[in-house]
Amino acid sequence: MRRLIAFVAPLLLMNAQPKETCPLGIAMLSPRTSSVTAEAVAPSGRRRAANPPSSPTAPKIPVINFIDSDVQAKWNSDGVLPTTLSTDEEFLRRVSLDLTGQIPDPATVTAFVADTTPGKRAKKIDELLASDAFVDRWTMWFGDLVQNVQVSDNSREYYVGRNVYYSWIHDAIKNGEPYDQMVRDVISGKGDSFAVGTANFVVRQLQPNGPIQDTYDNLATSSGEKFLGMPMLCLSCHNGFGHLEQVNSYLATKKRADLWSMSAFFTHTRAQAQPGDPNNANIKKFMVDDTVVNGQYQLNTTSGNKTARCTVDATTGKCVTPTGVAAPAFILTGETPRPGEPLRDAYGRMVTSHEQFARAAVNYLWKEMFGTGIVEPTNNIDINKLDSQPVNPKLLEDLKQSFITNKYDLRALLRTIANSSTYQLSSRYAPGGWSEAWTNEYARHYPHRLSAEMLLDAIAKATNVTTPFTVNGLGSVTKSMALPDTTEASRNQYGRLLDELGRGDRDTTLRTNDTSISQALSLMNDTIVTTRVKRTTANSTVSKVLASTTDPGSIVDQIYMATLSRKPAATERQTAITYLQSGNLQQKTEDLQFALLNSLEFLFD
């Protein structure tokens, strides 16, 4: 009960943060969410100001690159006072989690803090960008983006197709393939879906229970949302006018016929089912090709998951007259394929050459690093409102241009973000009272809860007890960040905890970093946590620490460093020492790490 009272209350506070939903059901951050989170996780220590304070002096924040110039220009125009830069310990934990999904080990923290070399933060960023853990973390991100999953409501990649898709993404990230080339490869992917990873982009969007036009629409709307950051699904059933004005004013000007024309880029594509396993007739693979030479988007359907694509007789429910075909044309420009150009190649070229492609990408990546996008929700950018929808319009446009100039290099963009002073600001607000009016100004770092995989891996690393996973077709892995999709391990205790922590299923359940009562209860009671803090658990951090010393001060220092990646503050250290001296040292040491694993500081980045 003591532990329950100590840790459920703060998590309840986080879960109570308000959210809104748009008519499409897209989750949107409340304007107050980031501010409330920051104060809960890293309180300024002073009462929040209703209005910006006038007396404190703003710290001098170095301008490292254009991100800082753009952010600080807005600070100056809006009268915003930023906080100070993060400490080395705060920075190292944050950048390690954001770039690699892993917390740093104690030796790394100690060496980094002791290093007095100028430019050590930039050097550490480069080291993380070159690591294998970086590849795993961003393979997970891209896998989420394209929804690579072995089984979904509509389609079946099976574990073989999922694995080859995963391996292709992993190799592309590892080898530094430009993001625009990755997307072109995905859009035009063809071949045996059990042998060619990118062929599974088409397989993933197959609609088995309707006319082929439904699959074409799935491919168009999915690619529009994932690669352009625009919600086009509504257009597959009705015109934007009268439906999307409150959601996306640009798409409100588009007609259903415009979406049909974008869907028509997939009319030469065929996905032919074939036996995929000689021992199981139910497992099918697909041969994906572009051999339907005369394929057209016929406007002659009354069945399936969409409203009719023709004029329908009210009595018979059948098409009175077919209304022809939709010719391929890109919805943002009206551009059509070049003579002789394969349709999917043309579509991939148009998508990736449009500036909205780069704009959507940098907004997605910014959210991965900051917890919130410059535009929220990230899949609903309104081209008509680029001067007002982004919290910092110039920043979004400069990031977009930098991404294009650097030839869509993911590492280059993430390096630019991580090196900026804006990214390296502290979560704690130092100058005085924090004003919620500054929430969208990036005047402090806004903590965000670790993703499900990051959190489970952090528990394993902090306690020095790995999590074993056996992946069908890929063998064993010891990090959840290395799992090929978010349905893996779903039937064991690790998978259940990952699901509870919001990893989603890359299908009907979106990934979320929201907190909940059930999460709090699991983190306090699940044996994944409780057995890992035991001295009797082989090689656990607690067992190693207690084997090395019985000095309470040394124990506190080691447990804090292993769990929170920092030394304890003086008051924390004394409080913990007093606690360790109050009873059985072994049990109290276990309690100390247990408490830190359930703290907001551990759960949030």
Q: Is residue 143 part of a domain?
A: no
pLDDT, tens digit, for every residue of 533-580? 999 999 999 999 999 999 999 999 999 999 999 999 999 999 999 999
Judged against a pLDDT cut of 90, whether residue 57 lies above it is answered with: no
* Antiparallel, parallel or unpaired: β 27-29 and 191-192: unpaired
C-alpha closest to that of 135 among 104, 176, 94, 103:
176
**Rounded Cα distance, 160 and 253, in Å:** 42
Beta strands in 7-161 (DSSP E): 19-21, 27-29
For 217, the token pair is: 């629409």
Judged against a pLDDT cut of 70, whether residue 398 lies above it is answered with: yes
Q: Is residue 252 part of a domain?
A: yes
**Rounded Cα distance, 305 and 74, in Å:** 46
**Rounded Cα distance, 67 and 287, in Å:** 45
**Rounded Cα distance, 422 and 443, in Å:** 8
**Rounded Cα distance, 42 and 446, in Å:** 9
Q: Is residue 37 part of a domain?
A: no
Q: Is residue 390 part of a domain?
A: no
C-beta neighbour count of 209 within 10 angstroms: 9
Instruction: Name the residue range of residue 245's domain.
Output: 210-336
Judged against a pLDDT cut of 50, whether residue 361 lies above it is answered with: yes
Q: Is residue 360 part of a domain?
A: no
**Rounded Cα distance, 278 and 281, in Å:** 7
Q: Is residue 251 part of a domain?
A: yes
Judged against a pLDDT cut of 60, whether residue 285 lies above it is answered with: yes
pLDDT, tens digit, for every residue of 249-270? 999 999 999 999 999 999 999 9
Q: Is residue 147 part of a domain?
A: no
Lowest mean pLDDT among 20-34, 182-196, 311-325, 438-452: 20-34
Average pLDDT over residues 214-225: 97
Across the chain, what does the average pLDDT equal?
Answer: 91
**Rounded Cα distance, 223 and 267, in Å:** 15
**Rounded Cα distance, 325 and 216, in Å:** 13
Domains of the chain: total: 2
What percent of the chain shows pLDDT beyond 90?
84
Q: Residue 196 CA to chain centroid, in angstroms?
A: 25
Average pLDDT over residues 167-184: 98
For 359, the token pair is: 């704009």
pLDDT confidence of residue 55? 52
Domain C-terminal end among 293, 308, 336: 336
Judged against a pLDDT cut of 70, whether residue 208 lies above it is answered with: yes
- Residue located via tokens 């077919």: 322
pLDDT confidence of residue 425? 97
pLDDT confidence of residue 305? 87
Domain C-terminal end among 290, 313, 336: 336
Long-range contacts of 3-6 (CB under 8 A, 24+ apart): 3/524, 3/594, 3/595, 3/598, 4/524, 6/595, 6/598
Q: Is residue 296 part of a domain?
A: yes
Residue 106's pLDDT band, with cuts at 50, 70 and 90, is very high
pLDDT confidence of residue 430? 86
Domain C-terminal end among 280, 310, 336: 336
Please name the residues in contact with 228: beta carbons below 8 A apart, sequence gap of 6 or more: 332, 351, 354, 356, 357, 360, 381
Please name the residues in contact with 166: beta carbons below 8 A apart, sequence gap of 6 or more: 139, 143, 148, 197, 474, 484, 485
